[in-house]
Amino acid sequence: MEIRSVTKAVRLLQALGRESGPQGVSELARQLQMDKSSVSRMLRTLERVTLVACDETTGRYTLGLGLIHLGQRALRRLDLRTIARDSLIALVEETGECAHLAVRAGDRALYVDQETPGHGVNVDAPVGTLAPLHCTALGKVLLAFRSEREREAVLSNQPIESFTRRTLTDPAALRSHLAMVRARQVAFDDEEFSVGVRCIAAPVFRHDGSVVGAIGISGPSPRLSDDRVRQWENAVRDEAYALSRKLGWTDIAETAATCS
């Protein structure tokens, strides 16, 4: 059953959360079509518990620091593996290929979850697998969206190990390749780590725009033809975006700009 006073308080907080700057009681009452005295009482109550703040000079209100505290506590409770399960399942259902979730562990990509289709030849990367950053799709994502200093620490680690004849080992070529990954927000592994295996991956962003992990698919090269890769590139990226939004991320354009 809906509690009207709580609903009104939530609407009030949502109004203050819009990008319109500090707002006064009359302005909020008009915007929400609520009684001015009711709005004033609710604001005073919310101010006492630090969910809103009032500028004593102007009498105008903004969201309070108490919301940051509550938000951070909620974010700490988010478990990436649990939240990502639906995304992994969705990718398997759409593509028929294995789906993986990875996070960075030092100079490697750590596979923390996997979903496999129930038929056909699959690319198995068990939970706990540690893979290189420079030549796997998941690893490239995790490397591309780190700071320049962190990227250079990997690229300057000479010699860069080669796993197949397709592995990029030239630092300049890798820098250019990682710039493409940041711009397109998707990475590819075209038999660069394992002969006969192709992969697609995209970044998973958290609320502050930083990358917390990567999600992607992998499969045998004959099945992941160029046409299939182009077809599923958007599917992988869109699923990564959907997962990112569950973690509080909102702005695609802003993230792309800050990571360039």
- Angle, helices 80-95/226-246, rounded to nearest 10 degrees: 150
Give CATH for domain 4-75.
1.10.10.10
Q: Please tell me the distance from the alpha carbon of residue 244 to that of residue 250, in angstroms, as a whole number.
A: 8
Count of Cβ atoms closer than 10 Å to residue 76 Cβ: 8
**Is residue 104 within 8 Å of 133, Cβ to Cβ?**
yes
Q: Please tell me the distance from the alpha carbon of residue 84 to that of residue 104, in angstroms, as a whole number.
A: 16
**Is residue 185 within 8 Å of 199, Cβ to Cβ?**
no
Fold annotation for 78-258? Beta-Lactamase (3.30.450)
Q: pLDDT per position in the chain (260 positions), as tens?
A: 457 888 888 889 888 877 567 889 999 999 889 999 999 999 999 999 999 999 988 999 999 888 877 776 665 555 888 899 999 999 999 999 999 999 988 888 989 899 998 776 566 677 788 899 999 999 999 999 999 998 988 888 778 889 999 999 999 999 999 999 999 999 999 999 999 999 999 999 988 889 999 999 999 999 999 999 999 999 999 999 999 999 889 865 444 444 44
Residues 6+ apart with CB under 8 A from 43: 12, 25, 28, 52, 54, 61
Domain boundaries, the chain: 4-75, 78-258
Q: What is the DSSP letter of 211?
A: E
0.85 exceeded by the pTM? no
The amino acid that residue 185 corresponds to is: Q
* Helix, strand, or coil (residue 217): strand
Task: Count how many Cα atoms sit within 13 Å of the Cα of residue 110 in the half-sphere of its side chain.
Answer: 9
The amino acid that residue 90 corresponds to is: A
